[in-house]
Amino acid sequence: MENREQETELQPLKTWSHLAGTRRRPSEYEIVSVKTLHNTRDPAKPMELDTDVFMNRWLRQYRNDSPLKHPDWDDFRDPDEIIYRTYNTLQNGQEIYVDGLVDQHDELEHDKGLTGDWAKSLATHYTPMRYLLNTVRMASSYIVVVAPTSTINNCAAFQSADQMRWMQQVAYRTVELGRNRPGAGFGETEREHWGNHAGWQGARELMEKVLIAYDWGEAFVALNLVAMPAIDEGILRPLASAARRNSDTLLSLLLEAQLRDSDRSRRWSSALVRFAVKGNAGNADVIRSWIDKWMPLASNTIESYCEALPDVSRIAADAGLAIRAFHAGLGLNE
């Protein structure tokens, strides 16, 4: 009897033992995504170094002590269950589609058919976008560093990768437009426009402040629930609409493809909000307070860009309504 008890006590843990509660073989997503962070084992010493090490103090303050609380963040799941392998498969198809669009329009000498006024508008309102996308990439990468669980960390990492891909696409189009429309300022004036043009200053202020929202919960709300929806509804959609009105079918199709990645970001963001509120009802008020704090900057982003963009009417009001509808769908407009 004693030997049998000893055998039971010494029985080794099964593979994926932290997922044993499901009583089934874990999915590929669960195996590679759940509880993979190394810095959540000891709340006092996340980096397993002296408690006073800078990064330990940072993670305790901006992750562990965030007003956004949940009894077990590890229970969160990405609704799309994206992992590195499936992300690459998914986006390989997206890149094939985008490359096909660009190649087809290049064969048709699409850029040479654009009007002079619209080409100049692209140099002002489109090609400087790589600076904006880089700020979104950096803000997403910060969430990767301070997220309280690997399943949130992964979602933010793929979101960051999305921004890198589209930033590279804008850079590619900048070179291509400059080759086909010399003298319009492509590759020469974007930094000046980003830093000084009235249409970009709302977005620049918003994203510069998002980048110093250090609390992980506020960083998530400011970026995923406010800034990115403002960019989608107040910059990408209006620009796509203006492109269609100026016979720039390539840009409108590229922006529509970009918005498909935004839809995926909204799905996991919505799932995380619902998960947080279900686990702790007080989180709803915390999230609302952050939305209220950041929405004036988002509204300014939309208004300043839409006022500067030609051939677009009523779009700023429509953008604001779309963002409020998004928040309402999460029960956050109460």
Q: So what's the pLDDT on residue 26? A: 81
CA 103/CA 178 separation, integer angstroms: 16
Say whether pLDDT at 151 is over 80: yes
Q: So what's the pLDDT on residue 14? A: 60
CA 276/CA 69 separation, integer angstroms: 8
Q: Residue 168 is which amino acid? A: Q
Q: So what's the pLDDT on residue 306? A: 93
Averaged over 184-191, what is the pLDDT? 94
Q: So what's the pLDDT on residue 48? A: 85
Angle, helices 116-125/150-180, rounded to nearest 10 degrees: 150
Averaged pLDDT of the chain: 92
Averaged over 151-162, what is the pLDDT? 98
Reported as a single tens digit per residue, the pLDDT across 129-149 is 999 999 999 999 999 999 999
Pair 254, 98: CB distance under 8 Å: yes
- Give the rounded percent of residues in the chain with a pLDDT score beyond 70: 92
Q: So what's the pLDDT on residue 204? A: 98
pTM: 0.91
Reported as a single tens digit per residue, the pLDDT across 196-218 is 999 999 999 999 999 999 999 99
Say whether pLDDT at 18 is over 90: no
9 or 258: which leads in pLDDT = 258
CA 44/CA 205 separation, integer angstroms: 35
Say whether pLDDT at 90 is over 60: yes
- Exposure string (b/e) for 175-195, b if CB count within 10 Å is 16 or more? ebbbebbeebbbeebbeebbe
Pair 47, 55: CB distance under 8 Å: yes
Q: So what's the pLDDT on residue 3? A: 53
Q: 30-39, 186-195, 208-217, 297-306: which has the minimum mean pLDDT? A: 30-39
- Token pair in block for residue 155: 């979602």
Q: So what's the pLDDT on residue 12? A: 58
- Token pair in block for residue 294: 């950041």
102 or 4: which leads in pLDDT = 102
Q: Write the CB contacts of 267 (distance below 8 Å, at least 6 apart in sequence).
A: 79, 80
Reported as a single tens digit per residue, the pLDDT across 236-249 is 999 999 999 999 99
Pair 56, 47: CB distance under 8 Å: yes
């880089």: which residue's tokens? 134
CATH code assigned to 73-329: 1.10.620.20
């604001």: which residue's tokens? 320
How many residues comprise the chain? 334
Q: So what's the pLDDT on residue 317? A: 86
**Domain residue extents for the chain:** 2-64, 73-329
Say whether pLDDT at 13 is over 60: no
Reported as a single tens digit per residue, the pLDDT across 273-332 is 999 999 999 999 999 999 999 999 999 999 999 999 987 767 888 999 999 999 999 987
Say whether pLDDT at 128 is over 60: yes
Q: So what's the pLDDT on residue 21? A: 63
Averaged over 37-45, what is the pLDDT? 89
**What's the angle, vertex CA 208, arms to CA 205 and CA 210, rounded to 5?**
105
